[in-house]
Amino acid sequence: MNINTAIQNAFLDLKRKNIKSALLDCEILMSQALNQHRSKVILNLDRQLNNKDYKVFRKLITSRLKNKPIAYLIGKKSFWKYEFEINDKVLIPRPDTELIIEQVLDVYKNKHNINFLEIGVGSGCIILSILKEKKSFFGKGVDLSKDSIKICKKNAINLNVSNRLKLFKSDIDNFNLGKYDLIISNPPYIKKFDLKNLDKDVFNYEPKLALDGGLDGLSEIRKVVRLSSELIKLNGKLIIEIAHDQKEMVKKMLNDNGFYVNKVAKDLANKNRCIVSTKIKFIN
């Protein structure tokens, strides 16, 4: 069988399962099976597939038919300007989260030697992208998941920023190290009872620890604001990602904890997604 026929058959299988971007998925999985760039696969559709490669391809398609996300099947995901190694123990980096990087670069355009903390590093997509962009910044990262810490460390080595990074496996509630100019976080913020309504790709495969924001979706955000309030310097910035319908509640939470809200940035779908705030007073 040639590559084209294998892709077309798999495409029909994915289509029948209503999997969006079925053709793209097949091409990506074929390039994974052949360990070749997608463009090379597309330019060689007439090439015959050997048995071994065909089996690998069909195994990947079978997993995709069970809704396993492409990023977990190929073990990587692009975010900002970089590629991150991932596995199914960490959240797949989302394009909307790049808003945090944009805000950081905007706020700290001409600033150097910033000491910052990320709460909930996951794959490291946020903290490592910032360290890549700002060569004089120092980052600390905390995550409750040891798998996240492990993969973030690996990505830091791949991106050559380990010398400006310290990672801690800890619950937000038990972390109390340092004082920071900037704190960033993309915390879990989905309401517990809404989790089951997520796409099957997400609900069945992505770690609940990275998604579950408790009964009202705000339990981890509350912890992030409380911890940040203690660990941030006066005039330091707190930049957090939120769900589109949490703006007012999080603004109030920030104000109650001595933060001034500078900006609410919108995501690619024009929904409120990221809040930039400044610590203006300490509250006893």
139 is an interface residue for ligand SAM by CB under 6 A: no
Question: What tokens were used for 274?
Answer: 């990221």
* CB-nearer residue toward ligand SAM: 61 or 77: 77
CA–CA gap between residue 185 and residue 274 (Å, rounded): 10
Asked if 229 contacts 259 with a C-beta cutoff of 8 angstroms, the reply is yes
Selection from 89, 68, 94 nearest residue 209 by Cα: 89
By the rule CB under 6 A, 128 interacts with ligand SAM:
no
Our finding on whether 236 is near ligand SAM (CB under 6 A) is no
Which one among 114, 121, 227, 231 touches ligand SAM, defined by CB under 6 A? Answer: 121
The 10-39 site mask, x for binding ligand SAM (CB under 6 A), equals ------------------------------
Tell me which of 14, 117, 183, 210 binds ligand SAM, using CB under 6 A: 210
CB 146 within 8 A of CB 197: no
Contact 44, 64 (CB under 8 A): no
Question: Closest CB to ligand SAM among 65 and 202?
Answer: 202
Burial grade of 43 (CB within 10 A; 0-12, 13-18, 19 or more): exposed
| Interface size with ligand SAM, residues (CB under 6 A) | 22
- Interaction of residue 69 with ligand SAM, rule CB under 6 A: no
- Dist CA 32 CA 19 (whole Å): 19
Minimum distance of ligand SAM from residue 46's CB (angstroms): 40
Task: Choose one: 24-32, 36-44, 136-144, 157-165; the region binding ligand SAM (CB under 6 A).
Answer: 136-144
Give SS3 for 115.
strand
Q: Is 246 in the site for ligand SAM (CB under 6 A)?
A: no
Q: Does 213 bind ligand SAM (CB under 6 A)?
A: no
Among residues 25, 96, 4, 31, the alpha carbon closest in space to that of 67 is found at 25
Q: Judged by CB under 6 A, which stretch of 38-46, 61-69, 115-123, 242-250 contacts ligand SAM? A: 115-123
CA-based nearest residue to 205, from 67, 77, 93: 67
**Burial of residue 82 (number of CB atoms within 10 Å: 0-12, 13-18, 19+):** middle
Interaction between residue 220 and ligand SAM (CB under 6 A): yes
Which residues, 143 to 162, sit near ligand SAM by CB under 6 A? 143-145, 148
Query: In angstroms, what is the minimal distance from the CB of 151 to ligand SAM?
Result: 10
Chain contacts with ligand SAM (rule: CB under 6 A): 91, 93, 97, 120-123, 125-126, 142-145, 148, 171-172, 186-188, 209-210, 220
